[in-house]
Amino acid sequence: MRVGIAAAGSGGHVFPALAVADALIGRGLARDDVVFFGGDRMEAETVPAAGYPFVQVDMHGIRRSFSLENLTLPLKIRKATRIIADRIESERIGVMVAFGGYVSGPAGLAARRARVPLVIHEANAVPGLANRLLAPMADSVYVAFAPATQKLKMATVVGNPLRSSFDAFDRVRLMPEAREHYGIRRDATVLGIIGGSLGAASLNEIAADIAAIPDRGFHILHVAGEPHFGRVSAQAARFEDWTVVAFEREMEQLYAASDVVISRSGAMAVSELHATATPSILVPLPAGKGYQGRNAEDLVKAGGGVVVAQDHRTEIISTAIDLLTDEVKRKTMADTAVASQHRGVAGTIADHVLEVAIDNPR
């Protein structure tokens, strides 16, 4: 039994795919039985580093501005579809799982050509173009956030697949070790600041503003992003209570160490905040037709976070200070966030994929 997985472009596509792949391994599949399809972006390094077979195709998404590359896209889609369909046949893949990104279109078309079932997962509240086009031909569609069902009518809301470490997240148990890992006092009050895998210049500026507050009385734990790390760490060197890291692979450590988090509202960040019931201030990226704002809706309705626009910097800072000084409010937010949301999702999808594969032996 072999499973194909298509995921490309960003962590919001690739990391959920890897979580499901790991769940499949945990259910008895060999690592070589899970074959990934992608392009030349982060998946080209991340997937092989995780030990999975990776088939790279020459694909890219539609360029938003005028580009001659868009004229070559139909030819690239046909070529990629043929390559993936041939691999489905030669590898005897029994089901294709598409997680979005530019490779999902050819992978879905290839699955249809090879007559194997197609399972779709959409990580964002506003579905991407590839998943919207593929949904009518899919055997099943899963989404992370309820607003996505406005575009994908027949979808099932399950949440985003996260690494298994989030399924057993326990802040009380993990906090002492997490704070020791970052060199933070156990009895400190901690504000986490996360700008996504590449960082966010505006949140880094907010971190500097907060650090400069006289006698603020709390520690800052800040994921600045690789491109910004040198500059931000130089700023932080003047403060004993501002810890900066470039990138954090084990995000559960950061959530366990933090009392409140300021974060972008990318799909995975929102899902991790929900799974860990971490009180949060969500600052959506003001781009992409507001999709990050839509990602935050479920968590805000659950009471676990508040949304503040990026240009309302004073409000972001005052809201953070308000939460950091009000333990009762933080506990209420954590208790009402329904920590079970986004837990166990990778296993749920893996179980369904195995059922589909068993029903369609090759």
Burial of 313 by CB count in 10 Å (0-12 exposed, 13-18 middle, 19+ buried)? middle
What does the pLDDT read at residue 73?
62
Give the chain's domain count: 2
What does the pLDDT read at residue 286?
84
Report the sign of the C-alpha dihedral through residues 254, 260, 261, 266, in that order: positive
What does the pLDDT read at residue 324?
97
91 and 194, same structural domain?
Answer: no
176 and 135, same structural domain?
Answer: no
97 and 80, same structural domain?
Answer: yes
249 and 151, same structural domain?
Answer: no
291 and 156, same structural domain?
Answer: no
79 and 217, same structural domain?
Answer: no
Write out residues in the chain with pLDDT < 50, as ranges.
none
263 and 186, same structural domain?
Answer: yes
Beta bridge partners of 55: 37
Find the CATH number of the domain harbouring 10.
3.40.50.2000
What does the pLDDT read at residue 276?
94
Q: For residue 103, what is the DSSP state?
A: T
Cα separation of 260 and 321, whole Å?
9
Q: What is the pLDDT of residues 189-201, one digit of tens each?
A: 999 999 876 778 9
What does the pLDDT read at residue 72?
62
137 and 216, same structural domain?
Answer: no
Q: What is the pLDDT of residues 59-109, one digit of tens each?
A: 665 555 555 565 566 788 888 999 999 999 999 999 999 998 889 999 999
348 and 226, same structural domain?
Answer: no
What does the pLDDT read at residue 63?
52
* pTM for the model: 0.90
- What residues make up the domain containing 64? 2-161+344-359
311 and 349, same structural domain?
Answer: no
53 and 179, same structural domain?
Answer: no
Distances 349 to 123, 127, 191, 240, 357 between C-alpha atoms, Å: 13, 18, 33, 44, 12
207 and 77, same structural domain?
Answer: no
